[in-house]
Amino acid sequence: MSPEPTVSVVICTHNGARSLPIALAAVSAQELRGAELELIVVDDRSTDASADIAARAGARVVSTNGGGADAGGIAAARNAGAAAASGAIVAFTDDDCEPARTWLSELIAPFADPNVDGVAGDTVPASRESPTFRYLALRNPLAPLPAALLESANPLFRLRRYLRDGLGPTPPLGDGSPLYSVVGANMAFRRGFLADMGGFDARIAFGGEEEDLCRRAHLRARGARFVYAPSARVRHHYRPGLRDSLRRARAYGQGNARQAIENAEIWPIVFPFPLLTGAAVIAAALGARRALPAALALPLVLYPGWLTHAVRRRDAESLLFAYVQLAQEVATMTGEVDHYLARAMAEA
């Protein structure tokens, strides 16, 4: 009898001792039939007990070398995990995630099609106890990107899609939907595909490494095929409060600016409504101050999806989410500006 195929699960951690045990326990409890599970934890220069916790849980621990407070970065850590993997399929989740018991079996099922290069599952907030968590459940920053983005990189095309789909809760994707990009917290690839692509861009410290990999794959002569498996569910333990969400948005903006500088087909992200709201508030403050309340209420008109959701669900809290989305978009553009300024100063 031939040995059962191996599926490798890679968890990257940097000082994740508090959350890592939950992720390890969830992966170890996977209901995986007809295959063996290999668990790899990449310790990205942690200064806490992350490596010891992983070893005690039976994981193979891979180090990105050295020590100190600064991590080598998520892309380099993912590459180290993939290089250590022996499985034909390499799945990734993060140290602040909790996969469902059937996560891995559902995530690898689409690979029965030999043309599938990668799969993304459904990543949802682990809690809905705060307004920020409830917002993230409706407008998921960890939702995979649809294949419709392959139609054009033209900024006017992207703007039309934003105006159609981006002004409220995230439109759901169907089972098996083709994707432009997967999401790092819940993704899997064929190990041979990762080798052919040269892995993730190790220069990316945080945010966008999976999108960069998928973009490069689509540019190949044969292209790439990524699909969505919503039944492969992972619960993401976000940090409480809005601050961490804005930090992530800012990091994604920095990543997009990096890609825009290096790739002519990628444009900077410019969200129109934060600029319009800011201009309206400044104009009202400098002129007719009686118009200031109207200017402050402008996001409710500019992001009509939240107003519609509030009326349909009789959920007044959703009205606040227009302002949360506004703040996230501001943070994303701020991250882009950060990167452009840092690049200019480095070249000066």
Q: What angle do CA 209, 345, 76 make, to 5 degrees?
A: 20
In the prediction, which pLDDT does 1 show? 38
For the cut 80, the answer to whether the pLDDT of residue 112 exceeds it is yes
Using DSSP's 3-state secondary structure scheme, residue 216 falls into: helix
Domain chopping of the chain, boundaries: 6-234, 272-347
Backbone angles phi, psi at 92, to 5 degrees: -125, 140
Taking alpha carbons only, the member of 96, 178, 106 closest to residue 142 is 96
Q: Is 56 exposed, middle or buried (0-12, 13-18, 19+ CB in 10 A)?
A: exposed
Amino acid in position 133 = F
Does pTM surpass 0.85? yes
In the prediction, which pLDDT does 94 show? 95
In the prediction, which pLDDT does 67 show? 46
Q: What is the mean pLDDT of residues 138-146?
A: 93
Q: What is the pLDDT of residues 160-180, one digit of tens each?
A: 888 888 888 988 899 999 999
Contact 227, 181 (CB under 8 A): no
At 3, the pLDDT band (50, 70, 90 cuts) reads low
In the prediction, which pLDDT does 2 show? 42
Helix intervals (H) in the chain: 20-28, 50-56, 74-84, 103-108, 131-138, 155-165, 191-197, 209-218, 242-262, 272-286, 292-296, 298-302, 304-313, 318-347
Of the listed ranges 189-198, 200-209, 234-243, 338-347, the one predicted with least confidence: 200-209
Supply 70's token pair.
């600064």
In the prediction, which pLDDT does 14 show? 92
In the prediction, which pLDDT does 291 show? 86
Of the listed ranges 13-17, 69-73, 263-267, the one predicted with least confidence: 69-73
In the prediction, which pLDDT does 185 show? 95
In the prediction, which pLDDT does 68 show? 46
Q: What is the pLDDT of residues 293-330, one digit of tens each?
A: 999 999 999 999 999 999 999 999 999 999 999 999 99
In the prediction, which pLDDT does 241 show? 85
For the cut 60, the answer to whether the pLDDT of residue 250 exceeds it is yes
Q: What is the mean pLDDT of residues 28-54?
A: 92
In the prediction, which pLDDT does 29 show? 95
Share of the chain above pLDDT 70, in %: 97
Supply 152's token pair.
């054009």
Distance from C-alpha of 188 to C-alpha of 150, rounded to nearest angstrom: 20
In the prediction, which pLDDT does 207 show? 78
Q: What is the mean pLDDT of residues 193-219?
A: 92
Q: What is the mean pLDDT of residues 176-198?
A: 96
Mean pLDDT of the chain: 91
At 263, the pLDDT band (50, 70, 90 cuts) reads confident
Share of the chain above pLDDT 90, in %: 73
More confident residue, 181 or 346: 181
Contact 167, 276 (CB under 8 A): no
DSSP assignment of 224-272: --EEEEEEEEEEE-PPSSHHHHHHHHHHHHHHHHHHHHH-TT------H
The domain over range 6-234 is classified in CATH as 3.90.550.10: yes
